Amino acid sequence: MKWTIRRIKESPDGVLTFDELIHVAEAIQMRNKSVVNLEPVQVSGYLSAIDNEIILHCQAKVNITLPSTRSLKPVLLQLTIPIKERYVYPNFDTNLQDYEETTIVLEHDYIDLESAVIDAILLNLPMRVLAEDEGNHDLPKGNDWMVLTEEDYKRQQKEASDQKIDERFAGLQSLFNELKEEE
């Protein structure tokens, strides 16, 4: 979905509202091979022309299937992603930190909603994906290996360090063991 800068500026009050269904599954799967499935994305919001810049504020709602990070089982997620972007001309000269939106320099005379949605979805994919039945169950394990939580790992490290005996006191340890046997 593309709109020319001219069309946005000529819209009533300089605001162009939209509510679109966008098909971007193929483009996203090309950029991220782990995406199993992506349903069409519902995007609603507005484009606003203010002086020499275009402001995009919208919300993308999508159902996406990703592999579980624990078992690789497919997991369906519902994501709602806010998108806030500012499009400016190449000669725009201002402090970019003054704005809450991501600033993008215009390379063409149009705004491409699909590229904004694709980038937003890819940037907002969760790092940890768990199926419903994986939340509180035992972690996977096999012969001579097991997956540990960070807390379990730290606990094992602490126990291992507590069990180490300083070699200088090894003789004393055997003396204590003898005393316990005599009692």
Least confident piece of the model among 14-23, 110-119, 164-173: 164-173
Specify if 37 maps to a domain: yes
User: Does any domain span residue 143?
Assistant: no
Q: Are residues 125 and 174 in the same domain?
A: no
Domain that holds residue 67: 2-133
140 belongs to a structural domain: no
Rounded to the nearest angstrom, the gap between the alpha carbon of residue 42 and the centroid of all alpha carbons in its chain is 19
Three-class SS string for 1-56?
A: CEEEHHHHHHCHHHEEEEEEEECCHHHHHHHCCCCCEECCEEEEEEEEEECCEEEE
Q: Tens digits of per-residue pLDDT, 124-161? A: 999 988 888 776 666 777 888 887 778 888 888 888 77
Q: Are 169 and 105 in a shared domain?
A: no
Residues 97-133 pLDDT 10s: 667 677 778 888 888 889 999 999 999 999 988 888 7
Q: Are residues 34 and 115 in the same domain?
A: yes
pTM of the model: 0.70
Number of domains in the chain: 2
**Domain for residue 162, yes or no?**
yes
pLDDT (0 to 100) of residue 98: 67
Query: Mean of the per-residue pLDDT values for the chain?
Result: 84
Per-residue pLDDT band for 31 (boundaries 50, 70, 90) equals very high
Q: 18 falls in which pLDDT band (50, 70, 90)?
A: very high
Distance CA(34)–CA(152), nearest Å, equals: 28
Tokens read off for 17: 């509202």
Are residues 25 and 80 both part of a single domain? yes
Pair (45, 84) in one structural domain:
yes
CA 82 to chain centre: 13
Q: Are residues 127 and 153 in the same domain?
A: no
Question: What is the per-residue pLDDT for 69?
Answer: 84
